[in-house]
Amino acid sequence: MEKSIRKLLLSAMALVTVFALSACGEGSGDKDAESAGETTTEAKCEHVEKVIQGLDATCTAAGKTEGKECATCGEILVAQNEIPATGHTEAVLSAQAATCTTAGKTEGKECSVCGETLVEQTEIEALGHTTTTGTCDRCGLSFGSWELYYYVDEFQQPTNDGYVANGSYFVGTFSNSATTNSRLYVTVLADEEDIAFFLYEYGSYQVKNASSRYSDEYEITMKLSNGTKYEMTGTMYAGGDRLFVDSSYRSKVLNALKSGEEVSFYIVFADYTTSTYLFTVQTNNFAEEYSKL
């Protein structure tokens, strides 16, 4: 008997518990309904979109995307996102080799977008010529190389007739229809009557006039170190191996050679104007040697 009563009691308690649980569930359901009703009764803003300007990122500063907010209530409708800084865009500033007379630069870097220097170029000092007396090994420039020579007679004996010429070649360039800026060697000869140039293409092949009848005419532009230019003419006679400065210009060239300054010559073959010769003469001790004639 007692056992069955206890069973009944337990069953009754279980029923009460189930009821209590379901009642709690109903209660919470009522509360949700109430709160939903409250929200719908609040005044709703009819948002008015207003653009928040974006900001471009730069190399070093972050930017922002365009955003939107409500002009009325200020609510952010589209958030702005940060755009990370782009970082610099490296551009190489190429190195420049120093020469005997001009300074060079090391390689540098700059930003091609904002122009900021990222790696500074440093100056490389001009190297200077390898010598001040003979011919510079690096650039071929000759110094103080004018020498007095004597013509020889038919017995290969020196005569009293002298001439002054550069003992080591002046180095220049020549161009024609087949080549551009190839190496040119030049000897300048001056005696009491004439001034002549010997031109060696590729440093060895001598320019000559192969004709036995016709002279070759050349246009010669002489440029002094102060920039003054003289337009002159020259002639390579039939069968000749040298270009004479025409006599009316001789004294001008002689004065330039005596100046002690650099003198440049640009020579054009009149028949084929694509054939050009360009070289610079160091006149250093020319005057001194010439005065001994």
Contacts by 207-215, CB closer than 8 A, 24 or more apart: 207/236, 207/243, 208/236, 208/239, 208/240, 208/241, 209/236, 209/237, 209/238, 209/239, 209/240, 209/241, 210/239, 211/238, 211/239, 212/238, 212/239, 213/238, 214/238, 215/240
**Should residue 138 be labelled a site residue for Zn ion when binding is judged by CB under 5 A?**
yes
Binding mask 59-88 for Zn ion (x = CB under 5 A): x----------x-xx--------------x
**Should residue 129 be labelled a site residue for Zn ion when binding is judged by CB under 5 A?**
yes
| Site stretch for Zn ion (CB under 5 A), options 141-149, 218-226, 254-262, 285-293 | 141-149
Kindly state the smallest distance separating residue 135's Cβ from Zn ion, in Å: 9
What token pair was written down for 38? Answer: 């409250």
> Closest CB to Zn ion among 9 and 76?
76
Kindly state the smallest distance separating residue 59's Cβ from Zn ion, in Å: 3
The strand ranges marked E within 26-124 are: 49-52, 63-64, 67-70, 76-78, 82-83, 90-93, 104-105, 108-111, 117-119, 123-124
**Should residue 195 be labelled a site residue for Zn ion when binding is judged by CB under 5 A?**
no
Pairing of strands 216-224, 195-201: unpaired
Report the residue from 113, 126, 152, 293 that binds Zn ion according to the rule CB under 5 A: 113
Question: What residue spans of 42-115 are helical by DSSP H?
Answer: none
Give rounded-to-5 percent helix, strand, coil for the chain: 20, 40, 40
* Residues of span 93-112 touching Zn ion by CB under 5 A: 100, 111
How many residues make contact with Zn ion (CB under 5 A)? 16
**Should residue 55 be labelled a site residue for Zn ion when binding is judged by CB under 5 A?**
no
> Closest CB to Zn ion among 170 and 244?
170
| Site stretch for Zn ion (CB under 5 A), options 1-9, 113-121, 252-260, 279-287 | 113-121
Binding site for Zn ion (CB under 5 A): 45, 47, 59, 70, 72-73, 88, 100, 111, 113-114, 129, 136, 138-139, 141
